Amino acid sequence: MFTQFHKENPMSNNANDIRTALARAVAQRQVPDDTIDKMASQIAGARFPIRKIDICTMGICIDYFLEGDQWWTKLPELINIEGGELQGIEIFPYGIPFPDLHHVRVIQRFGAVPGLGG
Amino acid sequence: MSKSGSSRAGFLPARVIQLHPSRFCNLACRHCYSASGPHLRGGLTATEVLSALEILQGEGYEVLSLSGGEPLLYAGFETVVRGAAELGFRVNLITNGAPVGGRLLDLIAHYINLIAISLDGAPPLHAELRGDKNAFVHAERAMDRLAATGVRYGLAYCVSRESLADMPWAVEFAQAQGAALVHFHPFAAVGRGRSMGERLSLSETDKARAYLVASLLQTDTAPGVQIDLAPIEAVRTEQEDYTLLGPAAAPDAPLSDLINPLVIDETGRLLPFCYGLNPEFAIGQIGPRLPAELERYKTSSLPTVQTLLNSAFAQLNVGNKQFIDWYYHLVETSYTVEQLQRLR
């Protein structure tokens, strides 16, 4: 479904265009309810604040901020994606100003989300 | 926490008074949460409002958000925004846009920090729900005038079952018009909207769609995008933002530490959190007895609002909720099942 939208919109050549095309497909109910429900249960069940939902070449990304000196112990919970397929995880330490703050991006494959291409 | 407003209270970073001074409006929208309209005269006087604001400024509130009714048609508008600004409030308002122009535009430019134009969907749906074929034209004209005057403004877009599909359009439209932000708020079946629930309410899957769409529309180039829906687990984990209402609630704490936002409705009633909340939870009434009523509330009535919050958090576990409009949820929780049935 997502790939189809991308093909129908040849100007969709940057990340913002792709995000908008995907937003339109979701809003206009062209992505099936069960796909939305799977994404919803993952997002709604997240025990850590979601900072952003994004897309990238690998799939749908959910960005979190983890704090504290035991931040890494929370990773298993983040990557346990029920009904989905983990494609990757990226960790960005914030560095000197916020030594205990880490931006963690969990990427789920498009193909693991029926209706979003892949 | 302090009266400076430098720390959080509730889920909000600023301490906000939502003022609904009158239900008078040029429109009678079919889903209006306050059931406002052209025949509803009356409301609060500017003197009453300013007396209350002076007291509440001392309770730590720092933002005044004007709604209604149509706030630009409120007889005391100029006196209230001028006085509120002099008291140090940042003043925001939400309007349908029709009155924006002339002297009101000058007042907006001078006193208003942020103005939101309300939209209910793409032009045909907006016009139908507003009961005015020119409603969208008026909103668009207001945006043009605000942009030409250099006023920062945003769109307040009601996401309903029928307007969900046009959320991306709303952001593209806002971007083309030069709006600074788009605030998506889910349709709430309150006020006149209670009779529209079957047609306009979002299903749980629709709420998930709306949340996902809003998230995807937050791009580098678009206006700021915000939605009044939160993942349910995130709401649970932020429960500690209300800890001041726990057993240790201090009677000497400023009201803004305890109740945020604070609502003043068109009858002068002070309500916690949200317009339309069960009046049984009222804090007091603007007027000469307000300081004493606030004192009494802080010393003896806080457990009732604490009970309401505890119920609201407990209700998160009921049904298959995944995303929640917290303030609408509080309104629903504040009524018994029998009371809700009577309201419907």
Highest mean pLDDT among A92-96, A114-118, B295-299: B295-299
Q: Say whether the ipTM exceeds 0.95.
A: no
3-state secondary structure of A2: helix
- Burial zone of A17 (CB within 10 Å; 0-12 exposed, 13-18 middle, 19+ buried): middle
Does residue A9 surpass a pLDDT of 90? no
Please calculate the CA angle B33-B38-B44 and round it to the nearest 5 degrees. Answer: 75
How many Cα atoms within 13 Å fall on the side-chain side of residue B106?
3
Substitution target from A43, A62, A74, A78 for chain B, most B beta carbons within 10 A = A43
Total beta-carbon pairs less than 8 A apart between chain A and chain B: 85
- Out of B164-168, B222-226, B257-261, the most confident range is B164-168
In chain A, whose CA is at the least distance from the CA of B166? A27
Could you tell me which residue, A68 or B330, shows the higher pLDDT? B330
Distance (Å) from the C-alpha of residue A58 to the closest C-alpha of chain B? 16
A68 sits in the region (left: phi over 0; alpha: psi -120 to 50; else beta) called left
Question: What CA–CA distance (Å, rounded) separates B297 from B286?
Answer: 14
Of the pLDDT bands very low, low, confident and very high (cuts 50, 70, 90), residue A110 is: low
- pLDDT at position A116 is 54
Q: What is the distance between the alpha carbons of residues B19 and B30, in angstroms, rounded to a whole number?
A: 22
For B97-107, how does the pLDDT look when each residue is reduced to its tens digit (9 = 90+)? 999 999 999 99
Q: Pick the residue with more confidence: B193 or B246? A: B193
Measured between beta carbons, the chain A residues lying within 8 angstroms of B217 are 19-20, 23
Q: Is the pLDDT of residue B243 over 70?
A: no
**Chain mean pLDDT for chain B:** 91
How far does A40 lie from chain B, in Å, by closest CA?
6
Inter-chain contact A27–B231, Cβ cutoff 8 Å? Answer: no
Question: What is the per-residue pLDDT for B277?
Answer: 95
Q: Say which amino acid occupies B301.
A: S
Is B240's pLDDT higher than 50? yes
Using the predicted structure, report yes or no on whether residue A53 has a pLDDT greater than 90: no
CA gap A13, B318 in Å, rounded: 43
Q: Which residues of B touch A68 (CB under 8 A)?
A: none
| Alpha helix stretches (DSSP H) within B75-217 | 77-87, 102-111, 123-130, 135-149, 167-177, 197-200, 204-216
Which of A43-47, A110-114, B1-5, B66-70 comes out lowest in average pLDDT? Answer: B1-5
Closest to B309 measured CA to CA, from B333, B325, B280: B333
Q: Is the dihedral of CA B41, B47, B51, B54 positive or negative?
A: positive
B247: left (phi over 0), alpha (psi -120 to 50) or beta: alpha
Q: What is the pLDDT of residue A4?
A: 43
**Contact between B205 and A22 using a beta-carbon 8 Å cutoff:** no
Tell whether B209 lies on the interface with A, counting CB pairs under 8 A.
yes
What does the pLDDT look like over B247-271, one tens digit per residue?
Answer: 556 677 899 988 999 999 999 999 9
Considering the entire predicted model, what is its pTM? Answer: 0.88
pLDDT class of A1 with cuts at 50, 70, 90: very low
Q: Residue B8: pLDDT band by 50, 70, 90 thresholds?
A: low
Residue B90 vs residue A102, higher pLDDT: B90
For residues A104 and A70, the model is more confident at: A104
By Cβ distance, the residue of B204, B220, B237 closest to A47 is B237
Mean pLDDT over B69-92 rounds to 97
Mutate to test the interface with B, among A5, A11, A18, A19 (most CBs of B within 10 A): A19
Q: What percent of chain B lies above the pLDDT cut of 70?
A: 94
- Assign A72 a pLDDT band (cuts: 50, 70, 90): confident
d(C-alpha B19, C-alpha B122), whole Å:
28
Distance CA B46, CA B216 (A): 42
Do B216 and A53 make contact, defined as CB atoms within 8 angstroms? Answer: yes
Q: In Å, how far is A9's CA from the nearest CA of chain B?
A: 15
Give the up-direction half-sphere exposure of residue B44: CA atoms within 13 A in the CB hemisphere.
Answer: 30
Q: What angle do CA B55, B58, B62 make, to 5 degrees?
A: 105
Residue of B63, B316, B340, B339 lying closest to B194 (CA atoms): B340
Mean pLDDT, residues B239-246: 64
pLDDT at A60: 79
Q: Does B218 touch chain A (CB under 8 A)?
A: yes
Lowest pLDDT segment from B153-162, B201-210, B215-224, B318-327: B215-224
pLDDT classification of B242: cutoffs 50, 70, 90: low
Which amino acid, residue A33? D
Is the pLDDT at A117 greater than 60? The verdict is: no
| Nearest to B221, CA basis, from B163, B184, B178, B185 | B178
Tokens 């009046």 sit on residue: B279
Instruction: Tell me phi and psi for residue A67, to 5 degrees.
Output: -120, 160
Residue B69: cis peptide before it, omega within 30 degrees of 0: yes
| Nearest residue in chain A measured CA to CA from B230 | A44
